[in-house]
Every structure is written in C-alpha cells, then in structure tokens.
Amino acid sequence: MASKPEQLKALLAPTVEALGCELWGLEYMSQGKHSTLRVYIDAEGGVSLQDCERVSRQLSSVLDVEDPIHGEYSLEVSSPGMDRPLYTLEQFARHTGEQVSVRLRVPFDGRRKFSGLLRAVEDDEIVVVVDEHEYLLPLEAIDRANIIPRF
C-alpha cells in the first residue's frame, strides 16, 4: 500500500500539470487533529504568486471532493525556492554540480548530515563529495535534501 504522501501526489499531480505546472514535491505532516499539506510547484520560468493561488484553489476543490485527509488540515502551495528540496533521482540529476545538504534517516559512516557537491546520480544512489571524500547515499535512506543557495 502506498504511503499517504504517495497517495496525495498521485491524486494531485494531474491537476497541477493541467494548470501548466510541475508537482515538484509535497510534504504531509500529521499533528494530532490538525495536519499540514505543503505542495511545491515549479514551472519553466519560475512560479508566481498567481500560479500558487490558482493551483491552491484547484487543489482545494480536488481535496474537498476526494477527501483523502481526515480531520482539519492546512493546504500550502509554494515554489520550491532557492533552497529547493529534492525528492527524486531525476531532481538530483537536474541539479548535479550544485551544493547540497542531505540528512539521512539512519547514520551512514557515523554521520547523518552531509553537505557538499552533488557529483552524480548512479542507479538509485546519489554521489556527494564532502571534504574530498565521495559518499554514495541511497535515495531511500535520505530523510531530507536541499540545494544550498549561492548568492
């Protein structure tokens, strides 16, 4: 059975894509009686506030009809931003050569946090270079990964 975020992504992606955007990723946080659904959208040329509003209205309608979240929840629709989270191997591949911050679910080589150059994607792993040392980190072990913005 698919996880709640996977179910929500499958439900919402067609609507986001029909509005000319890409469903970059989503985060579902259940906190007792109240939950938060954060949906990140992207588009070629970037995302405007109007895009977020338009997508939010449509997703609200879909969620009202399908009712996949029990109880109260907040829907947030946003651009992934400069420090965009990375969820899929395809997203990691698009950002090869960027600096990334990665947090693992369980320690690897005695550590859970890695910040360095995203060198490559190999099979189902990403290659991150930290202090001249390459780490192969499996996608399923990653709890959270973000681009480190350059200013």
Rounded to an integer, what is the distance from CA 18 to the centroid of its chain? 19
pLDDT tens, residue by residue, 41-67: 999 999 999 999 999 999 999 999 999
Tell me which amino acid residue 116 is. Answer: G
> What pTM did the predictor assign?
0.89
Residues 6+ apart with CB under 8 A from 109: 135
As a whole number of Å, the end-to-end CA separation of the chain is: 42
9 bridge partner residues: none
Inter-CA distances, 79 with 11, 13, 88, Å: 19, 15, 17
From edge to edge, which strands make up the β-sheet containing 72-78? 22-31, 34-42, 72-78
pLDDT tens, residue by residue, 115-146: 999 999 999 999 999 999 999 999 999 999 99
* Residue found by looking up tokens 């996608």 in the block: 139
Give the domains, in start order, of the chain with CATH numbers: 4-78 (3.30.300.20), 89-147 (2.30.30.100)
